[in-house]
Amino acid sequence: MSKPIYVTQPYLPPLEEFIPYLEKIWDNKILTNGGPFHQQLEKELCDYLGVKHISLFTNGTIALVTALQALRITGEVITTPYSFVATAHSLLWNGIKPVFVDIDPNTLNLNPAKIEAAITPHTTAIMPVHCYGQPCDVDAIQKIADNYNLKVIYDAAHAFGVKCHCGSVLNHGDLSVLSFHATKVFNTFEGGAIICPDAKTKQRIDHLKNFGFVDEVTVVAPGINGKMSELNAAFGLLQLKHVDAALARRKEIDAAYRAGLQGVKGIVCLNGGEQTTNHSYFPILVQPDYPMSRDALYQELKDHNIFARRYFYPLISDFPMYRSLPSAERNNLPVATVAAAQVMCLPIYPALSNADQTQVIEVIKRAAA
């Protein structure tokens, strides 16, 4: 049997390039608490991403939880059922009720046209997701938020380096939250960040991620331990040197999939054309006119040692802690329900060889025949 082909693999620069960073950490003996590599990574990420302020975190989930704390969000938050569970889990951890609304059939992002009907006197915020790195309709969402005096927190876990019509998509909303998990376009092994609009907000977030400490005798908030270590920050600095090449390779793989799967009946490649993404995922929809179901094709690929993923299936709203919510009913989420039943993300990562990608395409085409 051929070697496994996974849906993603972390990008690992040459080990010898990482050794000097490790030696510096060993020499200065600063491992955490905003050390020199941590401070340098914050600065370099601001420059690279085109944002004013950033606060690094140990992971994206803790960053989401803290973002909600920082804006003092309570009551109900409108969000998408079509995401990784951390999106909604961050709400439950803060005692907030998620209210699910349906998604757009083309982008699979939160559908702005469905938001207003879900607003109640208890609604305090909207939490959209830039799904697969595809920008949300940020202008429409902000207009609704302004009309109803709501905060907007973007789960931008997939959106590293993504731009929209006015620059970085991360500058939209009150806060944007990134994930630097090992499977992301840019990773720090584990990590995350909050994009902050001003220095005052960053200061509050920095306090919250470090137990609320201002100094060794002053605690101003019931914070958490969400700090990124020097080791993770150092790896991030090294990753930044290679990220443009990694993004370029992802773009090549994306284009090759579109060319190879063009004309395969029942296979729809999402987020193509002139739309801006970072090619963090390659989602397809396996529609009813394909000769086998999505799950059957998923198994067919697995039988050939190709491990695709059904991102996002099941819907968040189908999990036990959410499915009793009125907004979780499937008749409230028809587009999301169909997408979850049809979606499959194909392997995409910088080290994916042309031969391995061709094998993925050929399995799909043979199954279609």
**pLDDT tens per residue, range 317-364:** 999 999 999 999 999 999 999 999 999 999 999 999 999 999 999 999
pLDDT at 302 over 70: yes
Hey, how many other C-beta atoms are within 10 angstroms of the C-beta on 116? 12
Q: What is the pLDDT of residues 112-131, one digit of tens each?
A: 999 999 999 999 999 999 99
C-alpha 118/C-alpha 150 separation (Å) is 13
The confidence band for 274, taking pLDDT boundaries of 50, 70 and 90, is low
pLDDT at 6 over 80: yes
% of the chain at pLDDT higher than 90: 95
The average pLDDT across 206-214 equals 97
Per DSSP bridges, beta strands 5-6 and 306-307 are: parallel
C-alpha 104/C-alpha 275 separation (Å) is 15
CATH of the domain at 360: 3.90.1150.10
Quote the number of domains for the chain: 2
Do 229 and 280 share a domain, yes or no?
no
User: How many angstroms separate the Cα of 343 from the Cα of each of 227, 232, 271, 323, 363?
Assistant: 35, 32, 13, 21, 17
Do 90 and 208 share a domain, yes or no?
yes
Do 202 and 285 share a domain, yes or no?
no
pLDDT at 181: 97
pLDDT at 300: 98
pLDDT at 1: 56
Do 257 and 228 share a domain, yes or no?
no
Do 214 and 350 share a domain, yes or no?
no
Do 234 and 259 share a domain, yes or no?
no
Q: What is the pLDDT of residues 17-64, one digit of tens each?
A: 999 999 999 999 999 999 999 999 999 999 999 999 999 999 999 999
The confidence band for 275, taking pLDDT boundaries of 50, 70 and 90, is low
The average pLDDT across 84-95 equals 98
Domain end: 238, 261, 277, which one? 238
Give me 314's structure tokens. Answer: 């099941």
**DSSP H helices in the chain:** 15-28, 36-49, 60-70, 86-93, 138-148, 199-208, 230-261, 294-303, 334-342, 354-368
pLDDT at 2: 75
Do 233 and 254 share a domain, yes or no?
no
Do 93 and 49 share a domain, yes or no?
yes
Per the DSSP assignment, residues forming a β-bridge with 57 are 192
Record the pTM.
0.97
Structural domain harbouring 260: 244-368
